A = this chain, B = another copy of it.
Amino acid sequence: MAQFKGNAVVGQSGGPTAVINESLVGVIQAVKESGHIDQLLGAKHGVRGIINESFIPLKNVPGELLDRIAATPASALGSTRDKPDAAYCEKIFKAFAKNNVRYFFYIGGNDSADTARIVAELAHKESYELCVFHIPKTIDNDLRVHDHTPGYGSAAKFVAAAVMGDNFDNKSLPGIKVDIVMGRHAGFLTAASVLARQHDNDGPHLIYVPESPLSEDKFLADVDRVYSQHGRCLIAASEGISKPNGLTWAESMAQGIEHDSHGNVQLSGSGALGDYLADLIRRKLSPPGGKKLRVRADTFGYLQRSFPGFVSPVDAREARLVGRMAVQYSAEGQTEGSVAMRRLPDAQYKIETFLTPLAGVAKETKHLDASYIADGNNVTDAFVKYAKPLAGELPNVGGFDELD
């Protein structure tokens, strides 16, 4: 039984994913169907749209447009990186009270879960009746408690396909190639590059994640060994790879690089780390006096989070589901939490959703389990088993070496 009578606000926050609008459309559909909410207001650019009372009424958006929006990457309502403090939250309440908002659905990552937590706590303190639900999204897949996060599967599919194509590229014109994959602190997305491998000699030959500190010596020895063995080398490295001294490669490489408003170092939207690693290999591993090694680097950049038309169907379905479930939980009388998924112990991949406290998801990031990392330069079969159903089917490719 729904507890509060009034309107709802839905907002989107943080970095884009390819399926974040599936969750939004899930909320809209479920609100239309359940009937316990009066108006459904979409906040433009997250919490910023709330304090500015910049809303889009969402109940009457035509279904044809919703279908297209669901297939569109990046927040259709606009996003924000604002992180509300107490004063900011006062403004949120004023806007909520003025508009009789009793349900707040916030789609985002762990920063957004933290925003939801702060808003919910202030609501308690001020005895304002408010349901607060965090709806997960992040390509980083780094939310605690959640088995995995909508947005990750599609990004994983994109990275796996990109590395798969690059493996054939590298096979046809052999050389050393570095691919930089998103993920500041968690290596889930970089690790997904393993899904590109189909045969013994396929790349990525080396996979580096932030969880496993990497010295320059080990990196160069790894590349040298693979290149000697295969005459080529394909490397997937996370933008957040770190050195044994605790600094990231990006930090030790650059001084005075940009920070975003959350204090994070700018790693994405720049090819600097990839170019640095390529140059390092070229300088240190080219034969003295001989021909320079052919080394190239690509930084996959924003394409990983906002490439349209190439989503994982499982991911799209689950993103829709967590949006719908947030509304359903609110209709059942739940008042707050993060909508999480867990796997059922079936042989086939199957999940169910549950509500988990906001505080347990907020702020902190989840990391790749140690059992997923091998030798500091590879990932394990256990990780493949974990990630494969999330990315879904990959292109069905082949080569003449299958005849051997």
Query: Given contacts A65-B400, A76-B399, could you give 8 more A-B pairs where the C-beta distance is less than 8 Å?
Result: A56-B400, A61-B400, A71-B397, A76-B172, A77-B400, A269-B297, A270-B271, A309-B394
A300 within 8 A of B: yes
Closest Cβ neighbor of A175 among chain B residues: B269
Contact with B along A123-149 (1 / 0, CB 8 A): 000000000000000000000000000
A284 interfacial contact with B, CB 8 Å? no
> Which residues from chain B contact A204 at a C-beta distance below 8 Å?
none
Asked if A162 and B278 make an inter-chain contact with CB atoms under 8 angstroms apart, the answer reads no
Residue A83 at the chain B interface, CB threshold 8 Å: no
User: A394 — which chain B residues lie within 8 A by C-beta?
Assistant: 308-309
Are A275 and B271 closer than 8 Å at their CB atoms? yes
A303 and B270 CA atoms in complex are apart in Å by 16
Q: How far is the CA of A15 from the CA of B305 in the complex (A)?
A: 27
Q: With an 8 A cutoff between CB atoms, is A307 at the interface?
A: yes
B residues near A228, Cβ cutoff 8 Å: none
Q: Which residue of B lies closest to A69 (CB)?
A: B398
User: What's the nearest-Cβ distance from chain B to residue A257, in Å?
Assistant: 11
Residue A248 lies at the interface, judged by CB distance under 8 Å to chain B: no
CA distance A16 to B168 in the complex (A): 9
CB pair B165–A306 under 8 Å, yes or no, is yes
Contact call B309/A302, Cβ cutoff below 8 A: no
Contact, CB under 8 Å: B166 / A302: yes
Closest B residue, CB atoms, query A308: B395
Q: Which residues of B sit under 8 angstroms from A18, Cβ to Cβ?
A: 165
CB of A61 within 8 A of CB of B166, answer: no
Are B300 and A169 within 8 A (Cβ)?
Answer: no
Interface centre among A65, A278, A398, by most chain B C-beta atoms within 10 angstroms, is: A398
Please state if B306 and A166 are interface contacts (CB–CB under 8 Å). yes
A217 on the B face (CB < 8 A):
no
Instruction: For residue A162, give the distance in angstroms from its CB to the closest CB of chain B.
Output: 5
Docked-complex contact B296 and A168, CB < 8 angstroms: no
Report whether A306 and B61 are in contact in the complex, using a CB–CB cutoff of 8 Å: no
List 10 A-B pairs, minimum CB-CB distance, nearest first. Answer: A271-B271, A269-B296, A68-B398, A309-B395, A298-B301, A308-B395, A74-B168, A165-B306, A72-B397, A169-B306
Interface residue? A81 (CB, 8 A): yes
Mind listing 6 A-B residue pairs with CB under 8 Å?
Answer: A69-B399, A79-B173, A166-B303, A168-B306, A303-B303, A310-B310
Give Cα distance in the complex from A272 to B101, angstroms. Answer: 48
**A375 contacts B by Cβ under 8 Å:** no
Contact of A74 among B16, B75, B169, B396 (CB under 8 A): B169
Query: Is A346 close to B, CB under 8 A?
Result: no
A187 on the B face (CB < 8 A): no
Q: Are B165 and A74 in contact (CB under 8 A)?
A: yes
The answer to whether A72 and B398 touch across the interface, beta carbons within 8 angstroms, is yes
B296 touches A400 (CB 8 A): no
Is A164 engaged at the interface, CB distance under 8 Å to the other chain?
A: yes
Q: Which residues of B contact A307 (CB under 8 A)?
A: 161-162, 165
What B residues does A270 contact at CB under 8 A? 271, 275, 278, 296-297
- A15 is contacted by which of B61, B162, B173 (Cβ under 8 Å)? B173
Cβ B165 vs Cβ A303 within 8 A? yes
> A303 contacts B162, CB within 8 Å?
yes
**A171→B85 CA distance, assembly (Å):** 25
Q: Chain B residues with Cβ under 8 A from A296's Cβ?
A: 268-270, 301-302
**Chain B residues whose C-beta falls within 8 Å of the C-beta of A274 in the assembled complex:** 271
Interface flags for A159-187 (1: CB within 8 Å of B; 0: not) read 00110111011011100010000000000
Interchain CA distance A383-B338 in the complex, whole Å: 48
Which B residues touch A275, using CB under 8 A?
270-272
